Chain A
Amino acid sequence: MANTACFIIVGRNDIPIYEAEVGSAPKREDAAQLHQFILHAALDVVQDLAWTTSAMFLKSVDRFNDLVVSVYVTAGHILFNGIKSFFQEVHELYIKVLLNPLYLPGSRITSSHFDTKVRALARKYL
């Protein structure tokens, strides 16, 4: 089954700092926006849940028809929306980005290296 996934890293203050449309299905033009819309709305759920559980990985916090929102909350309350081992590896990548002294926490991740790696991981896990 062709699948599609939208992966967004949301920074503190709920600002998206990285976005990627990954998945094997051909890209639907309007999908990106709808996915963003759904993920944004899911933040309402996440904000309720994030403080009630200590688990990082919140599987299927929200369902929107046949789209499932999964969330991975890091200790610093940065949210990863998307699957567990994928999340974990991307989290590692994110930490590497964070360690970069030139990266200002909270700003957009524009590193092409990061982007490539994330997409590779997406192919691997999703």
Chain B
Amino acid sequence: MASNEDGVFDRWEVINRKIKIDLGSYQKIPSSAISTAQMANYLAQFQTIKNSCDRIVAAVEDVSDLWPTVKELFEQHQPLKRAVLTNKTRNPVLVENLPVEFILTTDARLRSRFPHEQYLYWFREPYATIVLVTCEDLDEFKNILKPRLKLIVQNDEKEWFIVFVSKAHPSNDQATKNAKKVYAKLEVDFSSKKRERCCKLDIHGPDANFWEDLELKITECIRNTLERRVQFYEDEIRKLTEQRFMPIWNFCNFFILKESLAFIFEIAHLHEDALREYDELELCYLETGSFPTPVSLSSISVALTIHVNMPGKQREFGGFDSEDDQAALLKPGSKPLTQMVHDDSFREFDFRQYLFACQSRLLFKLNRPFEVSSRGYSFVISFAKALTFHESVLPFCLREVWVLTACLALLDATASHHHDGVVAPDIEKEFYRLQGDLYSLSRLKFMRLGYLIGYGTDIEKSPLNSACLSMLPWPKPAVWPSLPPDASSEVLEKEKTLLQATSRTKHFGIQRKPLPLEPSVLLRVANRRRASLSTGNISEIFDGRPGFTEGSGLEASPRTPSSLKVQAAPMSRTNSSPGNFESPLDRPMRLAEIFVAAEHALRLTISDHDLLKTLSSVQDFEHKYLNLTKGAAENYHRSWWKRHGVVLDGEIAAVCFKHGKYDLAANSYEKVCALYAGERWQDLLAEVLPNLAECQKILNDQAGYMSSCVRLLSLDKSLFSSKERQAFQSEVVNIAHSEMKNPVPLDVSSLITFSGNTGPPLQLSDGDPGNLSVTVWSGFPDDITLDSLSLTLVATNNTDEGGQALKSSAATVLKPGRNTITFDLPPQKPGSYVLGVVTGQIGRLRFRSHSFSKGGPGETDDFMSYEKPTRPILKVAKPRALVDLSAAVSSALLINEAQWIGVIVRPINYSLKGAILHIDTGPGLKIEDSYGIEMESYMETDCDAGATKAEVSVEDSHVSPKRDSEVLNLCEGKIVFSEWASNVSSILWVPVRALSEKLARGSSSVTPLKQDILEGMRTVALKLEFGVHHNQIFERTIAAHFTDPFDVTTRVANKCNDGTLVLQVMLHSLVKANLIVLDAWLDLQDGFVHGKSDGRPTSTFFPLVVSPGSRAAVVFSISIEKTMPSGKDLQLPESILNIKYEIHGDRAAGAHNPVDAADHSVADAERRDLVFKSAIVLQRPVLDPCLTVGFLPLPSDGLRVGKLITMQWRVERLKELKGSESVEKQHDEVLYEVNANSENWMIAGRKRGYVSLSEEQGSRVVISILCVPLVAGYVRPPQLGLPNVEEANVSSNPPGPHLVCVLPPLLSSSYCVPVK
């Protein structure tokens, strides 16, 4: 042991030797012999000294009694504004506002110390010595002051400097001069080149520089002293550290050195260094300690070695003092060091807290509350482990209580030091997260304590609480607290509350096994740990359930505690019959007894009255529980740990709910549900959503309630039983049909999904309605009756226009799963459409679903696509021609006869089923009502229209063998199409008659007749209504051309000598049919008589066949009636040509046999012959004109603009004017007049005048006139007219108006140089 003893105190002897001071008794005490009490003395002294000194001390050596004068000034200039000190790593550190205390060397505090004390507690010794002097006399300085000063400063341990105080008044020149002299001398004597040691203070003069100078000098001294002292302590510590693993190691010595060093740093405001010292101290403590929570692997072996070497020298843990349950991890002074010391070390329980308290104090000084939190949290965790290890000897639940109080203390302290926005956002986030963790931890421990004393029924069995509590082992005291003898009434009371507490039945009758809050059955654990109870008794209780391992780490492993609990709980109740109160020592404790016993034990453990109060009643418990939960939630939210935060919100909600604050509860539950729903954690959602629903129901929030029910229904089917799901549905239906004020809109996208049918989209033509079939998936467990259901379609090309809603037929019943719903589709605009929204109504509930299901229910259950479906469900074609109506025949038909007019109806890929055709004939055309309208299929062929009807029908026969033709009756101007004609082209034959009053007129070669093409034109307006609802309308007016069969032209072929005229009548066939002329005759007009014959051509020529387009001619001989009865009224103004004919034509080609003529059973004999009548105008020959005007040819070089020209006309008398009244007056003169367009011509000479012309035949005169053409081009020349002569008597040559060519003016030759 001697060697041990020497080893320990070697270091101290080194110190002693160095400082040449005897440490006295302290040195001589061998470590093993140091009693706890003696060590405590030193520690007590150390702590007292440490506590009494809080700043750096500067000693003032007041040589000339100046201190009372300048003290005020000195202290005014405290603290040091900027002091550059050196830290442990020899780096300069700027310390601001360093306080320094000035103490006179004569002060008792410095004087009374024994030298060994000075060096043991070196940190409190002065860091600088300020020597205050004044002197005005040089001799006095030399003789008295200087030797004295030399004596003072000779101790080289001291850091000193001299302050020379000049009391000389500035006005006193002599005194000032003297002072200066003395000061100069002083500087010479005491300052060296290396170091200025003097400064001068003028009391009466303003000297700002002095204080800066003083601060620099003090700082320099402090820095030097600090360096020296740190160096010294470090050396000592290093030496001691080397011996750390030796058996003689004494931790207390090390602690004092280390903490002294830390304290030196602390009072020098070098907090970082101080903190590092404490950290090292802690590390060293943990490494050398013999407790089983080694910090690093290397230290395990060390710890073991120590065990081997020194059996029994296990460090005491502590934790038995009266207020040890209250964590002191932030109160370094809570317990004097002397109380922690045990042997040569400290009790872990107290010392680790003390160290942490010192660290956190420094961290707060460094303004790093975040670090306190983060270190604190890990400290609490690791300390709790240490407590677990010693749990069996510690008071009941000390661990829980300590953790709880530690967390709360940390929360309080850090929150008050934390200020938002000071640190980086990352750190701040992390800080709040830690606060949240601390709150959670304290909440957990608080719940555990509450549960132990029977408040378990008030703890919500939520996943969070269950996860926390059911995986946290029970406390493991050596012996479970037993029931105090006088507690029977309390037990009864507790039992009553237990019986009263009925677990709240969940809304909707949801049957769920409550989540466990116990890691294993408390009843069993408590009874097992009771000393008095034998194992046999336990097996009695639990049916000898084998293989239960308890107390090991397996507690949290998945056993089946819930089933055990179910068995155990009622059993304990039946056992409890009041009055039959046996001693609890003999039989297993009942649950209520366990609670009461735990409560009593806790009262002993817990020293904090506030904490006790929170556990004293359910109300207080809940209040505190709520506070902790709120704190945790709030901090997690601030740290963006939304999941943690929101889950805790759910816990708050549960409490609110219990207290009837349903609106608050609903709000919070809503948040939780939103979180789980958003991330689709359905299992978790299924736990919370019923709670929300219940709140909403109580709050009468019908919309919310229904929405919750719908969400419940849309959760995975396996999460709820079908009975529960039915309950959800019936709630929805009931509310929907209840008396709600306003209709409630609700999104049921997750529950009712829909999709179009597979296959190609429905195709419709523009304007057509249709039926759209849609598959709707219902997630309801039962059939549900919808009052209405509608669907909107969205046009893909036009998104901004809201879709049109399609209504389904009134009430629809949706079966669970797949339903096919058919919607009536009104005509839509062209485009393609996708499904939009399904809306509907159940009672007052208006629901809508946006969700498009991809296919079968197997896929839709889990995953719904919120993307819009891209596959079109409906395509509406752009407007196009659906049908075509056209005239079948373009060639002319017979006018005034009943003719078939053909209308081709050609459907263009569109059914004409049930189509109605309105036929409206235009003026001059009427339908022969007595005949039916024939309809037959029409084969479009390129072949000529000559194809007969028979041929057509044969060709068509394979298409529609049964019917391809029929007779339809026109009813009120319309006919209805037959079925067979729906999809094939067909032709309608409509019997019509074009009426014309006009008699056909023949034309002659003399008077050519202008044929008016429009005369024979007739129109038929057709209107076809078709489509499913006759919504499609096609209108067309077709034109038909009607004509006479012949165009008649006549000419006199020959004029015989006997006056007989041979009249040739040419017949030009106008129709596309063979015309057979049977007979022809002329009814002559007055003035003409038939020639030899009876007015008919030779009959042998008939019948004469006239092919389409060809001509035939008939010759009649007529003669002019010699004696024309004058004054007698003309009977026939014109001759009539009659032609009896037949027509052989096909109606498909053109004119044909009239309907009535070709008709039915009429015999040939009775057949009405067709007669064509044409008027022919025969004119008796007229006299020759009496005058002729001839335009003489123009000169050959033509006319030119601007060139003068003579126009000439020759007027000649053709015959004598006799008896002509018109020229009676001036028969030898003729009046002429030249007419010309003045824009084109300039005329010179007389435009109008008389020229003499002899009355004799053949007399002639030439009229010439000068004129100049004004414009180039073809222009009418001036014309000569004879106003006095009737036009009929004048023959003109050229006979009609004519044009002459006027050339442009000649170019000037001077400008035109021919190029060669």
Interface residues in chain A, defined as those with a beta carbon under 8 Å from any beta carbon in chain B: 1-2, 4, 13-16, 25-34, 36-38, 40-41, 43-45, 64-67, 104, 107-108, 110
Q: How many Å lie between the Cα of A93 and that of B28 in the bound state?
A: 75
- Does B556 sit at the interface, judged by CB under 8 A? yes
Contact flags B441-477 to A (C-beta < 8 A → 1, else 0):
0000000000000000000000110111011100000
Q: How many Å lie between the Cα of A4 and that of B560 in the bound state?
A: 14
State whether A25 and B558 are in contact (beta carbons under 8 Å apart), knowing that A13-B679, A33-B684, A40-B684 are contacts in the complex: yes
Q: Are B679 and A26 in contact (CB under 8 A)?
A: no
Using Cβ atoms and an 8 Å threshold, which residues of chain A touch B687?
A: 33
23 CB < 8 A contacts A-B:
A2-B557, A4-B557, A4-B558, A14-B679, A27-B558, A28-B558, A30-B470, A30-B515, A33-B515, A34-B467, A34-B470, A37-B463, A37-B464, A37-B467, A37-B647, A40-B681, A44-B641, A65-B471, A66-B471, A66-B553, A67-B471, A108-B862, A110-B858
State whether A110 and B862 are in contact (beta carbons under 8 Å apart), knowing that A28-B560, A31-B558, A65-B556 are contacts in the complex: yes
Using Cβ atoms and an 8 Å threshold, which residues of chain B touch A29?
A: 513, 560, 562
Using Cβ atoms and an 8 Å threshold, which residues of chain B touch A107?
A: 862-863
B1141 → chain A closest CB, angstroms: 82
- Does B419 sit at the interface, judged by CB under 8 A? no
Q: How many Å lie between the Cα of A4 and that of B865 in the bound state?
A: 34
Q: How many Å lie between the Cα of A45 and that of B681 in the bound state?
A: 17
Q: Are B556 and A66 in contact (CB under 8 A)?
A: yes
B643 in complex: contacting residue of A1, A15, A43, CB < 8 Å: A43
State whether A36 and B466 are in contact (beta carbons under 8 Å apart), knowing that A67-B471, A108-B862 are contacts in the complex: no
State whether A26 and B558 are in contact (beta carbons under 8 Å apart), knowing that A33-B687, A34-B467, A108-B863 are contacts in the complex: yes
- Does B906 sit at the interface, judged by CB under 8 A? no
- Does B1090 sit at the interface, judged by CB under 8 A? no
B1256 → chain A closest CB, angstroms: 118
Using Cβ atoms and an 8 Å threshold, which residues of chain B touch A67?
A: 471, 556
Contact flags B601-645 to A (C-beta < 8 A → 1, else 0):
000000000000000000000000000000000001000011110
A126 → chain B closest CB, angstroms: 15
Using Cβ atoms and an 8 Å threshold, which residues of chain B touch A13?
A: 678-679
Using Cβ atoms and an 8 Å threshold, which residues of chain B touch A64?
A: 467, 471
Write the chain B residue with the least CB distance to A41: B643
**Which residues of B704-724 have CB atoms within 8 Å of chain A's CB atoms?**
none
Most buried by A among B556, B642, B680: B680
Using Cβ atoms and an 8 Å threshold, which residues of chain A touch B858?
A: 110
Write the chain A residue with the least CB distance to B676: A40
Q: Are B464 and A65 in contact (CB under 8 A)?
A: no
Using Cβ atoms and an 8 Å threshold, which residues of chain A touch B513?
A: 29-30
Q: Are A44 and B558 in contact (CB under 8 A)?
A: no
Most buried by B among A25, A30, A104, A110: A30
State whether A36 and B558 are in contact (beta carbons under 8 Å apart), knowing that A30-B515, A41-B643 are contacts in the complex: no
Q: How many Å lie between the Cα of A15 and that of B636 in the bound state?
A: 21
Q: Interface of chain A, helix or strand or loop or mixed? A: mixed
Q: How many Å lie between the Cα of A118 and that of B644 in the bound state?
A: 29
Write the chain B residue with the least CB distance to A11: B680
Q: Are A36 and B862 in contact (CB under 8 A)?
A: no
Using Cβ atoms and an 8 Å threshold, which residues of chain A touch B979?
A: none
Q: Are A33 and B463 in contact (CB under 8 A)?
A: yes
B347 → chain A closest CB, angstroms: 29
Q: How many Å lie between the Cα of A108 and that of B854 in the bound state?
A: 14
- Does B82 sit at the interface, judged by CB under 8 A? no
State whether A44 and B644 are in contact (beta carbons under 8 Å apart), knowing that A2-B557, A28-B558, A107-B863 are contacts in the complex: yes
Q: How many Å lie between the Cα of A4 and that of B554 in the bound state?
A: 12
Most buried by B among A1, A29, A33, A104: A33
Given known contacts A44-B643, A66-B471, what 6 new A-B pairs fall within 8 Å (CB)?
A4-B557, A15-B680, A29-B560, A30-B466, A36-B681, A104-B865
Q: Are B516 and A65 in contact (CB under 8 A)?
A: no
**Which residues of B773-813 have CB atoms within 8 Å of chain A's CB atoms?**
none
The 5 closest A-B pairs by CB, nearest first: A28-B558, A65-B471, A44-B641, A107-B863, A108-B862
- Does B1030 sit at the interface, judged by CB under 8 A? no
Q: Are B463 and A34 in contact (CB under 8 A)?
A: yes
Using Cβ atoms and an 8 Å threshold, which residues of chain A touch B681?
A: 16, 36, 40
Q: How many Å lie between the Cα of A66 and that of B557 in the bound state?
A: 9
Most buried by A among B553, B636, B643: B643
Q: How many Å lie between the Cα of A4 and that of B471 in the bound state?
A: 13
Write the chain A residue with the least CB distance to B559: A28
Using Cβ atoms and an 8 Å threshold, which residues of chain B touch A15?
A: 679-680
- Does B683 sit at the interface, judged by CB under 8 A? yes
Write the chain A residue with the least CB distance to B864: A107
A47 → chain B closest CB, angstroms: 8
**Which residues of B1104-1141 have CB atoms within 8 Å of chain A's CB atoms?**
none
Q: How many Å lie between the Cα of A40 and that of B516 in the bound state?
A: 19
Q: How many Å lie between the Cα of A46 and that of B687 in the bound state?
A: 24
State whether A104 and B516 are in contact (beta carbons under 8 Å apart), knowing that A34-B470, A41-B643 are contacts in the complex: no
Q: Are B684 and A37 in contact (CB under 8 A)?
A: yes
Using Cβ atoms and an 8 Å threshold, which residues of chain B touch A28?
A: 558-560
A40 in complex: contacting residue of B557, B558, B559, B643, CB < 8 Å: B643
Q: How many Å lie between the Cα of A108 and that of B858 in the bound state?
A: 11
Q: How many Å lie between the Cα of A33 and that of B676 in the bound state?
A: 13
B429 → chain A closest CB, angstroms: 8
Q: How many Å lie between the Cα of A37 and that of B683 in the bound state?
A: 9
Using Cβ atoms and an 8 Å threshold, which residues of chain A touch B468?
A: 65
Q: How many Å lie between the Cα of A107 and that of B860 in the bound state?
A: 10
Using Cβ atoms and an 8 Å threshold, which residues of chain B touch A26?
A: 558
Q: Are A36 and B684 in contact (CB under 8 A)?
A: yes
A50 → chain B closest CB, angstroms: 14
Using Cβ atoms and an 8 Å threshold, which residues of chain A touch B676?
A: 40
Using Cβ atoms and an 8 Å threshold, which residues of chain A touch B554?
A: 1
**Which residues of B501-530 have CB atoms within 8 Å of chain A's CB atoms?**
513, 515-516
Using Cβ atoms and an 8 Å threshold, which residues of chain B touch A45?
A: 641
Q: How many Å lie between the Cα of A27 and that of B558 in the bound state?
A: 7
Q: Are B472 and A65 in contact (CB under 8 A)?
A: yes
Q: How many Å lie between the Cα of A1 and that of B471 in the bound state?
A: 16
Using Cβ atoms and an 8 Å threshold, which residues of chain A touch B558?
A: 4, 25-28, 31
Contact flags B1280-1312 to A (C-beta < 8 A → 1, else 0):
000000000000000000000000000000000
Using Cβ atoms and an 8 Å threshold, which residues of chain B touch A40?
A: 643, 676, 679, 681, 684
A115 → chain B closest CB, angstroms: 14
Contact flags B674-712 to A (C-beta < 8 A → 1, else 0):
001011110110010000000000000000000000000
Using Cβ atoms and an 8 Å threshold, which residues of chain B touch A25?
A: 557-558
Write the chain A residue with the least CB distance to B642: A44
Using Cβ atoms and an 8 Å threshold, which residues of chain B touch A33?
A: 463, 515, 683-684, 687
Q: How many Å lie between the Cα of A29 and that of B678 in the bound state?
A: 25
Using Cβ atoms and an 8 Å threshold, which residues of chain A touch B556?
A: 65-67
A32 in complex: contacting residue of B559, B642, B683, B865, CB < 8 Å: B683
B755 → chain A closest CB, angstroms: 15
Q: How many Å lie between the Cα of A4 and that of B557 in the bound state?
A: 8
B489 → chain A closest CB, angstroms: 36
State whether A30 and B643 are in contact (beta carbons under 8 Å apart), knowing that A65-B471, A67-B471, A107-B862 are contacts in the complex: no
Write the chain A residue with the least CB distance to B862: A108
Q: How many Å lie between the Cα of A105 and that of B851 in the bound state?
A: 18
Q: How many Å lie between the Cα of A29 and that of B466 in the bound state?
A: 13
Q: Are B467 and A38 in contact (CB under 8 A)?
A: yes
Q: How many Å lie between the Cα of A17 and that of B642 in the bound state?
A: 21
